[in-house]
Amino acid sequence: MTISTVPPDRNTSLSSMRYDPRFQAESRSDDLDLTSGLRLIRRRMVMIVAIIILLMAAAATAISGLKPTFHAESRLIIHTPLATKLGAEESGRNDPLDATSETERLLSRSIAERVIRELRLDDWPEFNPALQEVSLIDKLRAMLRGLVDSEKPSSSRRNSIEPIIPNYYKALRVWRDGQGDVIQIGFDASDPELAAAVPNRLISIYLEERKDSLRARLDAAEEWLLRRIAEQKVRAMTARDAADAYQKTMDVVSNDDDQVEQIKSIMELGERQTKIEQGRAEARATISALEAADDLSLALQNMVIPDSIGAMQRELRAQEQDLERLLETYGDTAQAVVDMRAKIRKSRTDLNLAADRYLQSIRAKLAGLDREDDAVRSALAAAHEKRTRSALAQTELARLQRMADKEQTAVEKLEEQRRGLVAQAMLPGAELEVLSPAAVPLAPHGRGRLFYLVGALLASISIAVTAAFVVEMLDNSVRSFDQIAGMGRTVSAGFIPHLKRKDQKDPSMLFGWIQVGMFDEAIRSVLTSFKQSNGGKLPNSIVVTSAHSGEGKSLVARSLAIDLAANGIPVLLVDADLRHGNLDSFFKSDLKQGLNEFLCGQAGIRDIVHHHPSGIDFIPAGNASLHRRARLTDAADIIGMAASMGQIVIFDSAPVLASADTMHLTALAERTLLVVKWGKTSRRAVEFCLHQLKIARNAELSVAINNVDPKKHAKYNFSDSELFVKSLRKYHEFI
């Protein structure tokens, strides 16, 4: 902040208080430090307190409706029945069941329904929504739902336990204790006895449901096994009948003695065939030898012959020896020799005849052996065929018997399974080891209402402060010259504090009869800024405009004119808002014509000027319907006339972003004052407005921030916030 004192001259005697952007500090409002945070909370305190009050009212209503809740827990381990583990390898083991699966069983729908019915949870308002008081929000929701859906809920729906199930599960908690097999069952209720009764009853119902479920499964399995056993027995009986029928049909020998007899008979026939072959070979050799020999007596010497032929052969040999002795004794002609020779011839002839008979007998024997060999061969072939058929039939019979035995084994296995199921049906579904049953709690569970109120207060404060920060971050309005200092070729004309609405309409305030210290000093600062930026003298013509309507440009234009007139400087105030000008409501000129008529050529300049008793000459806007035919270049005549009379012309023009007339006036006037409303006009609008004005006239533009709240502005971290510290406000009696 700089306070510069300009010596009064013939034009004005103003003590100026203005902000000089050359002395900008490094501090800005969006720096995230502790000081700026505290300032933000201070300036947004009303909003923060309002949000806290609203949130605390809602939280207090909800917390006051809280009822004390009692919590009871039960801890248990679920084992498989010990009798099912009494095998030879696992004797005495009692393994726990899968805790995850059993936890899901404890949370099953059937158990929940039984607990609700047996403990009459539908009679408790905390579980039955039908017994609860309907809030206003629920009534409105039901009303809106009734408008969309005309069907009313049926009585069966109202009397069902469906609405109770979610509240039951919300109060129930079943979980595993870490990674172990211990299961904990907890329940919350407003009644301590009910809180303890639910876990205990839940455990007993679980055992019953587990046993019933296992019994149902075993019954279904047993029924299925009985059907399988009946079918398997039919198959086994069919297989056994098929084996018996085959044995009877094929006359399969199943006795081992019979099989031995068959083998013995085959062996005997084989031996007999071998002997016949030997006899045939011997007979063929004998016949061949006898047929080939010239002397049968010689041939018979090397053979096995009958005894009769052997005796004849020995007798022939003895006769031949006797002949040799006779020859040696008597000679060749002796009678005895002749008789002996005759006897030898007779013996030889008998021997040949006997040999021929023997040969014939051998041939007959060979023929008999041949016939016997054929018979043995036929019998042996028949025996072998019978043995082969018996072996094949025996193999097939063995296969059929194995099939029958297999089917019978399957029957026996099914029977064994059925007996096992019957044995399991006599056992409990599970065994429970209750480590600690649920006891009636002596004190409510959780925190007290004070704790929740304190938590709600802290949460409300956090939400309120966060909302304040969010609103501050989203705030893009202009509140300081620090925010527009970088927009180029702008001159800060100073801050203008806000006036109360009643003071803005009070003639005593408007025409300077009662001076408002800080506001009056701000108007003087604006005029001083014009003099300093214009070479030490006031400009001949000033255009007062804004980006949007409702930013206080008319108030600033009037105030500038009033201040100049109060200091004896001739001034001409022109309502240049050709469409919506309303300055005439303050000056009460009663003129029928105005600037529109003059620019359209329907009135002279003398006809539209009103001389106010305060010393201000005023030109109203005139008929707004003529603005489309107005020639704004004729406004130069007004500036020229005022200059010839030594007057300063102040144009209260239309908003820059609403009408192009302002750009034409800016090109004609010497200086332009852009009025920005504090905390309302966005920086983007100001930047675009300055850009438009610089297009019309490439000169420095003065900017005044209007409607400043000194108390709030002092709480910001801008470098110009010191202009409205408490001591200065007190000095100007603006507290």
At 436 the three-state DSSP class reads: strand
C-alpha dihedral, 243 to 248 to 252 to 257, nearest 10°:
110
Q: Residue 711: is it exposed, middle or buried by C-beta count within 10 angstroms (0-12/13-18/19+)?
A: middle
**What single DSSP character describes residue 89?**
S
Residues in the chain: 735
For residue 87, pLDDT over 60 is answered with no
Q: Is 61 exposed, middle or buried (0-12, 13-18, 19+ CB in 10 A)?
A: exposed
Average pLDDT, the chain: 79
Q: Give the pLDDT score at 119.
A: 92
Q: How far apart are CA 240 and CA 480, in angstroms?
A: 111
Give dist(CA 725, CA 179) in Å, integer: 65
The C-alpha atoms of residue 30 and residue 674 are separated, in whole angstroms, by 25
* β-sheet with 648-653: strand ranges across: 490-497, 701-708, 671-677, 541-546, 648-653, 571-576, 616-619, 610-611
Q: Is the confidence at residue 605, as pLDDT, over 90? A: no
Residue 241 clears pLDDT 70, i.e. is over it: yes
Angle between helices 34-43 and 45-64 (to 10 degrees): 70
**Token pair belonging to 75:** 């801890």
CA gap 384, 266 in Å, rounded = 7
Residue with tokens 């001083």: 528
Contact in structure between 706 and 556 (CB atoms under 8 Å): yes
- How many C-beta neighbours within 10 Å does residue 391 have? 13
Q: What is the DSSP string of 90-132?
A: STT--PBP-HHHHHHHHT-HHHHHHHHHHTTGGGSTTT-GGGS
CA distance 272 to 11: 171
pLDDT at position 670, please? 86
Provide the residue ranges of all domains of the chain, joining segments of one domain with +.
29-65+447-473, 256-425, 479-705
Q: Which amino acid is at 234?
A: V
Going from the C-alpha of 171 to that of each of 194, 201, 676, the distances in angstroms are 11, 15, 60
Which residues, in sequence order, are CB contacts of 265 under 8 Å at separation 6+?
A: 383
Residue 346, both tokens: 């007779």
Return d(Cα 214, Cα 220) in angstroms, integer.
Answer: 10
Highest average pLDDT, of 115-119, 211-215, 688-692, comes from: 115-119
CA 189 – CA 445 distance, rounded (Å)? 10
Is residue 122 within 8 A of residue 161, CB to CB? The reply is yes
Q: Which residue has the tokens 């020779």?
A: 341
pLDDT of residue 28: 45
**pLDDT (0 to 100) of residue 174:** 92
Average pLDDT over residues 481-501: 78
Tell me: pLDDT of 31 over 90.
no
Tokens of 728: 């200065």
Q: Per the structure block, which two tokens stand in for 374? A: 């054929």
What distance in Å separates the CA atoms of residue 356 and residue 305, rounded to the nearest whole number? 12
Mean pLDDT of 176-202: 88
Q: Quick one: pLDDT at residue 15?
A: 37
Contact 432, 289 (CB under 8 A): no
Residue whose pair of structure tokens reads 């100026």 in the numeric block: 16
Q: Which residue has the tokens 């009644």?
A: 191
Burial 363-381 (b: 16+ CB within 10 A, else e): bebbeebeebbeebeebbe
3-state secondary structure of 319: helix
Chain segment 41-83, per-residue pLDDT in tens = 888 888 899 999 999 998 888 887 777 888 999 998 887 776 6
DSSP secondary structure code for residue 18 in this structure: B
Kindly state the tokens that stand for 481.
């010259």
Which pLDDT belongs to residue 649? 92
Residue 630 CA to residue 500 CA, distance in Å, equals 36
Question: What is the pLDDT at residue 98?
Answer: 78
Mean pLDDT of 207-234: 86
CB 595 within 8 Å of CB 620: yes
Report, as an integer, the average pLDDT of 357-385.
85
As a whole number of angstroms, the distance between CA 448 and CA 213 comes to 43
Statement: residue 186 has pLDDT above 90:
yes
Q: Whole-model pTM above 0.75?
A: no
CA distance 538 to 23: 24
Average pLDDT for 502-524: 62
CB-CB contact of 438 with 72 (8 Å): yes
232 or 425: whose pLDDT is higher? 232
CA-wise closest residue to 305 among 570, 316, 386 = 316
Two tokens, residue 255: 């006795």
Instruction: For residue 23, name the pLDDT band (cuts at 50, 70, 90).
Output: very low
- Separation of alpha carbons 511 and 432, rounded Å: 96
Could you please state the CATH topology (level 3) that the domain comprising 479-705 is classified under.
Rossmann fold (3.40.50)
